[in-house]
Structure 1
């Protein structure tokens, strides 16, 4: 997600970039704690994730919230933790890499490379298995990126989708074993453009649209 320009946010350029650095450090610390705590108490890790994100949204200079909404902010709506929507997902890397350009919320292009495909098999036998493509953000620094849209998008969640992983920004749930990624929909979160359209956020591509509603993670404020 690309923040608004320093001029748009009313701050000096140097202060804005240092604030962004601090925001990313705090996110890295948050997800390091989540990765450690999830191994023995995923519900507690989920509560910690909510509390820290609420704190960042409430008081950090890089909060995505518009200035006129910060005083009344009461917390991000989140569904209750559902262990059935947490996956140790094997990644098929035998697929040929596929380059694509996805649009952002502000019309900018974001280059991605598909580096694999995650297979997710729900515990409930009545729920069909599904897949998600895993991307590398193909710009300087890069990072693993797993966005998705589902049947809740545009109604209960942001229409452009939510993110499971964006390691360039610190959102990394880790791996239990080689060749796998931890994909836990309970930690799915909205991009910043959901809160303020000044932010530029890549939208989930058609390959990662799920037919079912994933009622886990962050909800819309609607």
Structure 2
């Protein structure tokens, strides 16, 4: 008995034995083209030799092959997500605004209100006349501010607040001339008071928050004595 040798089977016989239908049942990749003589979906690779042409696995290819699987990994928009996002954003913004308001410094209340000041700022000439001939137009608000004066102690009686120019001698007019018992400069100002109808020699000195005693009980009372003052 002769030994078994290699049996060569023609490709045509293989096709008959396997059948073209078997080839077409293999998993297919979508193909842009096919060659004549090969089953649908099979690329011609030589005489009577057909093979599948595989496309690269790109996102576009996967999307065509597995639209459901790929779609499941895509973020889906929920109808209420936009509403939740809007509400969350609004809450965060409101919290930031509240924090900003809380962190903002609160304006300090004017000290004169605690003494009964009604908030009225008088014309400077209603308090006194500048001796250097300063015009009324130049008597504007300045830093450090003005003076709050009253005709009675403890900042009571007839009171008034006005702003005079710095470094200018002011001669008091009625009803302030020799009637002042309380004298209060604004913070930062130093005012000197006189009783000789001039600012030749300062007799009293006032700084914030002033003095509401008229100097009574001291060796040098100034109650109802002031005729002039000058602030620096």
What TM-score does the superposition give when structure 2 sets the normalisation length? Answer: 0.21
Specify which structure has the higher proportion of strand.
1
Structure with more contact order per residue of length (Cα contacts < 8 Å, sep ≥ 6): 1
What TM-score does the superposition give when structure 1 sets the normalisation length? Answer: 0.22
